[in-house]
Amino acid sequence: MSTELASTIAYLCRALRAPTIGRVWQDLAATARGDGWSHEEYLAAVLQRQVADREASGTRMRIAGAHFPALKTLEDFNVDHQPSLRRDVLAHLATTIFISKAENVVLLGPPGVGKTHLGIGLGIKACYAGYPVLFDTATGWAARLQTAYQDGNLEHELTRLRRYKLLIIDEAGYLPFDADQANLFFQLIAHRYEQGSILITSNMPFGRWGEIFNDDIVAAAMIDRLVHHAEVLALSGDSYRTRSRRVLLTPTPKSGDQPQQPSKEGQFSAVEKGSDFSRR
């Protein structure tokens, strides 16, 4: 094979922005000759490698662009620890069909039961399915919207966020919002209504969202839009974080006197006791 032909192919691959073809065409040609592939089979094999690489790098870029706080997969989620979790619903969500319909997901439950894990896992599924995703905590979203508002850019920011087919709002309820933040948050929810998906997690049952947003009416209006087309999953049980520690502590007679290990959400666990996470 002439070097002229090789450099022509190298040039054409650059022009097509198909670096994988540039990398694999020679090796595959040798395999094709050895194994007696038809021209068509060879062409398909070369193109397939390029498409596979492009999809993988697209997924990698979407996962990086989503700003997940950690990489958690649905496959790593132990559903046996959540017996009340509706597995059929989770399996349906994992197909990401809800995103194509701009439907929402609400994950409710006390700290440590896997809300963030499931949120990230579903977000990663969305990245694999080709959907741009953006993750932030509720506090992070409030700050982002406040900055845009102060810069006179709120409309622009809300429109820009449309390019993300799934927004993940984690930990609504850990920190209460003031009236301005609640209003901005409402605008975000209202703007995405039937336009793009939101996945929101909260340690507060709906009945207490008035406390998060300092306003029962704003909270009710928000819940109304969120759940109109949504799967609401209530997680329950003990914190997965502290379960092994509890096992260690249980045999100790004085374990009840032990102060709880400080955790990010430690200060809220008292609030959680006796909360009712059923859908209201």
Return the SS3 of 168: strand
Q: Which two tokens stand for residue 179?
A: 């009236």
Q: Does residue 114 contact residue 235 with C-beta atoms inside 8 Å?
A: yes
In angstroms, give the least distance from the CB of 81 to ligand ADP. 4
In angstroms, give the least distance from the CB of 138 to ligand ADP. 12
Considering only 6-14, 16-24, 114-122, 153-161, which stretch makes contact with Mg ion by CB under 5 A? 114-122
Which helix (H) or strand (E) element contains residue 136? strand 133-137
Return the SS3 of 232: strand
Residue with smaller CB distance to ligand ADP, 111 or 123: 111
As a residue count, the chain comes to 280
Q: Is 72 in the site for ligand ADP (CB under 6 A)?
A: yes
Considering only 2-10, 105-113, 131-139, 188-196, which stretch makes contact with ligand ADP by CB under 6 A? 105-113
Q: Is 82 in the site for ligand ADP (CB under 6 A)?
A: yes
Residue with smaller CB distance to Mg ion, 28 or 235: 235
Candidate list 111, 121, 123, 196; residue touching ligand ADP; CB under 6 A:
111
Candidate list 50, 104, 116, 197; residue touching Mg ion; CB under 5 A:
116
In angstroms, give the least distance from the CB of 241 to ligand ADP. 5
Q: Is 104 in the site for Mg ion (CB under 5 A)?
A: no
Residue with smaller CB distance to Mg ion, 170 or 215: 170
**Residues whose CB is less than 8 angstroms from the CB of residue 113 and which lie 6 or more positions away in sequence, other chains included:** 82, 235, 236, 237, 238, 239, 240
Question: Rounded CA gap, 280 and 266, in Å?
Answer: 26
In angstroms, give the least distance from the CB of 80 to ligand ADP. 8
Question: Rounded CA gap, 25 and 150, in Å?
Answer: 53
For residue 204, give the nearest of 249, 162, 171, 167 by alpha carbon. Answer: 171
Residue with smaller CB distance to ligand ADP, 81 or 144: 81
Q: Which two tokens stand for residue 275?
A: 């909360």
In angstroms, give the least distance from the CB of 69 to Mg ion. 9
Q: Does residue 214 contact residue 179 with C-beta atoms inside 8 Å?
A: yes
Using CB under 6 A, list all residues that contact ligand ADP.
Answer: 72, 76-78, 81-82, 109, 111-117, 240-241
Q: Which residues in this chain contact Mg ion in the complex, by CB under 5 A?
A: 115-116
